[in-house]
């Protein structure tokens, strides 16, 4: 784990998507954070020790999905499949499919496996799976504010975890999508799909893959903007900067059976023409029971810093 010293920073961005606004100052205390995303090998040890069965390995409750096709109410997960050519970006069904039998051991569905991907981030983990692993490891999930502060690596108000230039000296700094999403993947960064942890240089706090590779769960419930950040939180000082803010109550579910949590960091499927979210300020809401081939997590430990 890496020690994140804590401090005050500007959370959010005015330059990209509406949900990243308003920009506001936040203070977080120091904490420890996993240097990298939890890997397949690490998650395998957890499952072997506890017998944990993931959400993707459990059939959905029919009561939660009364309009669903009963044939789809079987264990499975969401898998990305690129279409053969350009499609409308208004319909994600063109590239996302519910695949029965897809889970962390079988990331592309039955017949696939994680052989040779032991150092890749584990995927197809829902929020409950990430929380169960964190509890087993004696850790927790980060709040959105903690995650964003750590991702910035000391570079306050910069667009990316490494600065404002997306490809300094022409070099890619994260595992993202190059080409026209969702059909043209040029793989200029060297990867199609997930990449081994640490394939790109760390940020200022020694953390790798805080941009791209896979999205990461946080503990905060999702809101449409940052306006709830800091509510009911004691100010850090007389100038009323919120300290250690978190959103710990679900907002409206918009008809969904589960509330949504904030995920951060973007993934290898994020592209400028569709999802430019491989940035510290970027945020997205994900239903708690969701598992996909581009969603993972890392953990934190709050408490004393290095002696």
**Is the link from the previous residue into 182 a cis peptide, with omega within 30 of 0?**
yes
What Å distances lie between residue 256 and 60, 213, 229, 260, 288, CA to CA?
14, 27, 23, 9, 10
Residues 24-65: tens digit of each pLDDT = 999 999 999 999 999 999 999 999 999 999 999 999 888 888
pLDDT at residue 234, rounded to an integer:
46
Task: Spell out the domains of the chain, with CATH numbers in brackets.
Answer: 1-50+120-306 (3.90.1580.10)
pLDDT at residue 232, rounded to an integer:
42
pLDDT at residue 229, rounded to an integer:
58
Q: Look at the block and give the residue holding tokens 């081939």.
A: 293
Euclidean distance between CA atoms 160 and 194, whole angstroms: 19
Low-confidence ranges of the chain (pLDDT < 70): 227-239, 251-257, 307
Buried b (16+ CB within 10 A) or exposed e, 68-87: eeeeeeebbbbbbeeeeeeb
Q: Running DSSP on this structure, what letter comes out for residue 41?
A: H
pLDDT at residue 251, rounded to an integer:
63
> Minimal CA–CA distance to 195: which of 34, 37, 1?
37
Is pTM, for the whole model, over 0.85? yes
Give bridge partners of residue 234 from the DSSP assignment.
none
Residues 176-203: tens digit of each pLDDT = 999 999 999 999 999 999 999 999 999 9
Q: Running DSSP on this structure, what letter comes out for residue 240?
A: -
Euclidean distance between CA atoms 198 and 20, whole angstroms: 27
pLDDT at residue 228, rounded to an integer:
62
pLDDT at residue 306, rounded to an integer:
81
């Amino acid at each position: 784990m890496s020690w994140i010293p804590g401090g005050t920073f500007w959370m959010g961005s005015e330059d990209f998507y509406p949900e990243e606004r308003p920009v506001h100052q936040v203070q977080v205390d120091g904490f420890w954070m996993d240097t990298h995303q939890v890997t397949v090998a690490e998650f395998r040890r957890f499952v072997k020790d506890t017998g944990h069965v993931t959400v993707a390995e459990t059939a959905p409750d029919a009561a939660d999905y009364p309009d669903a096709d009963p044939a789809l109410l079987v264990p499975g997960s969401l898998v990305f499949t690129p279409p053969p050519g350009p499609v409308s970006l208004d319909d994600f069904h063109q590239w996302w499919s519910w695949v029965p039998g897809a889970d962390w051991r079988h990331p592309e569905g039955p017949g696939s496996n994680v052989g040779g991907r032991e150092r890749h981030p584990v995927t197809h983990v829902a929020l409950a799976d990430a929380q169960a692993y964190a509890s087993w490891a004696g850790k927790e999930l980060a709040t959105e504010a903690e995650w964003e502060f750590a991702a910035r690596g000391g570079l306050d108000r910069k667009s990316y975890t490494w600065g404002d230039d997306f490809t300094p000296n022409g070099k890619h700094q994260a595992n993202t999508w190059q080409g026209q999403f969702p059909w043209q993947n040029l793989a200029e960064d060297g990867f199609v799909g997930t990449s081994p942890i640490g394939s790109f240089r760390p940020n200022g706090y020694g953390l790798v893959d805080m941009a791209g590779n896979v999205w990461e769960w946080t503990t905060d419930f999702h809101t449409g903007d940052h306006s709830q950040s800091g509510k009911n939180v004691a100010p850090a000082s007389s100038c009323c900067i919120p300290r250690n803010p978190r959103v710990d109550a679900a907002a409206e579910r918009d008809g969904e059976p589960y509330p949504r949590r904030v995920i951060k960091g973007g993934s290898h499927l994020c592209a400028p023409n569709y999802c430019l979210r491989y940035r510290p300020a970027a945020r997205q809401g994900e239903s708690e029971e969701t598992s996909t081939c581009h969603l993972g997590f890392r953990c934190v430990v709050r408490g004393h810093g290095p002696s």
